[in-house]
A and B are shown apart, each in its own frame.
Chain A
Amino acid sequence: MKNLKKLIVLAIASVMLISLCACGGGGDDATDGGTLTVALGDAPNYLDPAIAGDSVSMGILANLYFPLFIYDKDGNVINEAVETYEVSTDGLTYTLHLRAGDKWSDGKDVTAEDFVYGLKRSLGYGADCGYSNFITDHIVGAADNYGKDIADMQGVGYTALDEKTIEIKLIAPCPYFISKMINGVFFPIRSDFAQEHTSAWANDPAVPTNGPFQLSAINESEKAEVVKNDNYIYADKVSLAGIKFLFMSDQDAQQLSFQTGEIDVALNVGTNVFTTYKDKPELVIAKPYVINYFVLFNPAEVPEAEVRKALAMAINRNDVLVALDVKDSGAYYELYGFVPEGIPGKNGDFCTEVAQVEKWNAYDPEAAKAILAKYGYNESNPLKLTYYYNNSATHTTVAQVFKSQWAAIGVDVELKTADVQTFFQDRSDGKFQMARHANSADYLDPMIYLEMYKTTSQDPAVCSDAKYDKMLDDANDPANDHATRMKLLHEAEEYLVNELAWVIPIYGYANPYLISTKVSGFEADPSGQTMFRYTKLEK
């Protein structure tokens, strides 16, 4: 009995000791908003906005820089470092007035020259600057100075008129130029830190940035740590003391570490979370996200537009989503237009305001059969085609659904697969009859998709139609107001999908994220950009 008492006392004492230790450990964050732990995918590039073409690099950079413009969650352009801007009536000159109070993390003012340096550095960077065409396609004199040292550049139409004013001269009017200026190639860069044509400097925590956070430490294979930038223009709205970005390419590892609480936000998780986290508050589907999964035709191989329409009408998109086991995920939707959800249109969303209402070439196997019969195809003389895709579980499932649906209207389709690089090469060379495609958006305007089928945007031009080219040019006439432009773009899209029938849009989707219920104020835009500038972490 005595022994038992001793044991109890000992047990209580040890419990108290342990809880005391635990208290000591948790008290560190009492004075600030805490540090958020975010798991991204594979390791990023150097944190140089000029070369950040991947979502992981941009996932960090968007929290380090305060750019000219950003997108809101619906894809509308929001002024950031730009307070106001004017466009000349001919659509060729843009004047940007920068916001006062925008400072670098070392306390210096952000000037128009910093933006000019950033742009010219991107222009001169060389082959690895993936979005230099955003500059060379539009800005006067840019193409001639591509790849040069800044000191040797002449006549680039992107100049600082004074400390806070930038003037941009365009080659031709481009009504969606502002939506392209969100890209990293337009970020401000410090000329006293950033060298030209190279990027290793960018991972030095001493490099000042002008966003809500600044880099404090990085191991390029493991993690990047950022801390609050007290000189940020809206520093008072930033609650977090810092963010730890972990690079975790293994999706299972992210899910399991999310369950242990080692990470607060998992941005790279598999579609199985739609089932495992169904109806749970941790599952966040950042809708809309801009991507379209579609079938494309090679018009040289399938020349009759009506036959292409018949093939489109054989597709029951619902069956595709069921086969992919994402029907009830809340993230996938049937797509009828070429432009997916998440791009602003006339009044609301470009996709939902017309294409999703009109439902061009909707499922109608009887009508499809009738068309094929008209062209002389029947059971004894079936239409024979090949559908080409790159090997992956998703694409294989989709292809098998297509094959059976095409078989149902009497079309004999052979499935052909290849390694992804071979497939891409063959597809862009036009070596296919029907193939799969999917495209996410680098800027949020219908043109990002509609332009793909302009004759001049393809090399070689697999699809070419003079009327379609002209429809796009007419829509982008600077004389058009927004509503007229959108109306004309809608007409062009209908012509592409419904009359030319070069494409069969199948579905669009949004990415799943796992976010702890302690986290609020997470932001994501339709291009897939995530941001944690005003995120709060509850303790």
Chain B
Amino acid sequence: MVKYTAKRILQGLFAMFILTTITFFMMKIIPGNPFNKDNKVIPAKQMAALVEKYGLDKTIMEQYTDYMKNLLKGDMGISYNKVDMTISSIIKRTAPVTAKLGMVAFGVSLVAGVTLGIVSALSKKRWVNNIITVIVTIGVSVPSFLIGIGMMILFGVKLKLFPLIGLTSPRHFVLPTIALSLSPISYITRLTRSSLRDVMNQDYITLARSKGTKNIKVIVMHGLKNALLPVITYCGPLISGLVTGSFVTESLFSIPGIGAQFVNSVNNRDYTLIMGLTIFLGLLVIVFNMLADFVSAAVDPRIKLKG
């Protein structure tokens, strides 16, 4: 177990190194410099001063080693676009907002997805299954920005039920949470449904039933406990999905989180900020995937974490 953990951490660090390096060089391949603005002429003297200040006059390898050295010290540099703002201060400000919405969406996705999955797997009524299939299909196939805009127009502009800006009250959470979690809900529903159906046909379920165990106990204790394993494994990718989903949802609902910040940093060609956010989000994804693996191993004795 210790050996396995060490190996996973080393793998994660290696992945981070590759991610950082590739992102760095990809951005340096783009010619020109990030200070040119449309509709504005920057005097040559000032441009030279900027290039010097941000170290863009050095060779790319020098810039790379400087960046890596600072990164090891935990210093991700300052923004090119927002003068004097450190990347870490921007992450510190925006990440909690994303985490707040993400956790709500995470909870809603799991609860709603698993519930719909159970209902769908066990219900013998055809119309129940049809409704769930429609929801699941919409959730998987319609892009979240379209769902977001659609809900904004319907529930915000037309029906005036929900506000559209920010996350200041519980009511503000409703639309962004739906926009963010509809796709994972659909995925979890399908996962739970197929897995539960499989499990319910296993011999040990028949055995439990034949022993006269109550139906509800059979479903929860024997069926669900085993059927939820794939859902737990999915929690890692679910979190990365929520992070990438936040790019669209946060911009649409004017939520001051890391997703909206990422979109703006790309629009502004704020290279240091793009780098910093990519590293931070990459780290999140790697850590949560690792955690999901550990949790699956803990609940399922059949899974052995071998080094």
Contacts and interface: CB of A to CB of B under 8 A. Distances in A.
Contact of B157 (A220, A259, A420, A425): A259
B264 A439 contact: no
Interface string B7-33: 000000000000000000000001111
Contacts of B82: 43, 45-46, 220
Contact of A51 (B42, B43, B52, B83): B83
23 contacts: A42-B268, A45-B83, A45-B85, A127-B46, A127-B53, A128-B84, A132-B46, A199-B84, A200-B84, A221-B97, A222-B256, A246-B165, A247-B254, A249-B251, A249-B264, A250-B252, A253-B254, A256-B164, A260-B163, A262-B163, A421-B269, A424-B32, A439-B39
B125 to A, nearest CB: 33
B277 to A, nearest CB: 12
A315 interface: no
Given A133-B45, A220-B93, A439-B41, A248 B254 contact: yes
Contacts of B34: 421
Report which residue of A259, A425, A439 has the largest number of chain B beta carbons within 10 angstroms of its beta carbon: A259
A361 B209 CA distance: 92
Given A128-B53, A260-B160, A260-B163, A419 B30 contact: yes
B260 A249 contact: yes
A440 interface: yes
Contacts of A219: 93, 256
Contacts of A263: 165
Interface in A106-146: 126-128, 130, 132-133
Interface stretch (B59-67, B148-156, B285-293, B298-306): B148-156
Interface in B248-268: 251-254, 256-257, 260-261, 263-264, 267-268
A221 B157 contact: no
A209 to B, nearest CB: 19
A126 B53 contact: yes
A256 B251 contact: no
B190 to A, nearest CB: 31
A16 interface: no
Contacts of A51: 83-84
Interface string A412-455: 00000001111111000000000000111010000000001000
B166 interface: yes
Nearest to B155: A260
B3 interface: no
Contacts of A236: none
A498 B264 CA distance: 41
Interface size range of chain B in the complex: 35 or more
Contacts of B38: 390, 420, 438
Contacts of A247: 254, 256
B214 interface: no
Interface of A: 42-43, 45-46, 48, 51, 53, 126-128, 130, 132-133, 147, 198-200, 219-222, 246-250, 252-253, 256-257, 259-260, 262-263, 291, 390, 419-425, 438-440, 442, 452, 459
Contacts of B252: 250, 252-253
B83 A257 contact: no
A425 B36 contact: yes
Contacts of A257: 156, 164-165, 254
Interface of B: 30-34, 36, 38-46, 49-50, 52-54, 82-85, 90, 93-94, 97, 149, 152-153, 156-157, 160, 163-166, 251-254, 256-257, 260-261, 263-264, 267-269
Which 8 A-B residue pairings sit nearest by Cβ, starting from the closest? A421-B32, A222-B256, A221-B256, A127-B49, A459-B44, A424-B36, A127-B53, A425-B32
B39 A440 contact: yes
Given A45-B82, A442-B40, 9 more contacts: A43-B82, A45-B85, A46-B84, A127-B49, A253-B164, A257-B164, A260-B157, A260-B160, A424-B36
B149 A252 contact: yes
B269 A256 contact: no
Nearest to B43: A133
A128 B34 CA distance: 13
B264 A220 contact: no
A42 B267 contact: yes
A341 to B, nearest CB: 16
